[in-house]
Amino acid sequence: MNTSKTIKSVLNTKTMSFLESYKQNLFTEAMWKVEVEGFPPFYVDAKSAGQVKTELRKKLKKPDDIKSIERVQKADWKKDVLGRISGKDQEDEKDVEVKEWIEEGSLTDDLLVDVIKNVMKERIK
């Protein structure tokens, strides 16, 4: 009879410790997308944006370089990483520059014609 109480108490203890660790790990960490000046976006697992920010502030010489910290889903993270691996970055620097020229109105037809002529000359050589 004594052994059954011991087995029950051991099982009860093991079950309770398992449940406690399961509850702690169930929703403890999320994926955060971090943008820092001069670096490509990277991802961090943490409980909150505040935790990410404090850890970065400890590691960076200029904590003001942190642009943004936003929560992302695992699917978005996976999509971004696979896109980077395959070489399909969202926007190239040249694309951004051309879009800015178009918005400013500094990209004129004459400029485009001159650029096309120069490109054709280089390809002929």
pLDDT digits (tens, 9 = 90+) for 96-106: 666 777 777 77
Query: Which region holds residue 93: left if phi is over 0, alpha if psi is between -120 and 50, else beta?
Result: alpha
Residue 22 has pLDDT above 70, yes or no: no
Token pair, residue 29, equals: 């960490």
Diameter over CA atoms, the chain: 98
Average pLDDT over residues 14-33: 71
Q: For position 54, what pLDDT does the model report?
A: 92
Domain boundaries, position 109: 91-125
Let me know: does 46 contact 55? Beta carbons within 8 Å. Answer: yes
pLDDT digits (tens, 9 = 90+) for 41-68: 889 988 888 999 999 999 888 888 899 9
Within this chain, do residues 105 and 65 fall inside the same structural domain, yes or no?
no
Within this chain, do residues 113 and 64 fall inside the same structural domain, yes or no?
no
Q: How many distinct structural domains can be found in the chain? A: 2
Q: For position 104, what pLDDT does the model report?
A: 76
Within this chain, do residues 76 and 57 fall inside the same structural domain, yes or no?
yes
DSSP symbols for 49-73: HHHHHHHHHHH-S-GGGEEEEEEE-
pTM: 0.49
Q: Please, which pLDDT band fits residue 70 given cuts at 50, 70 and 90?
A: very high
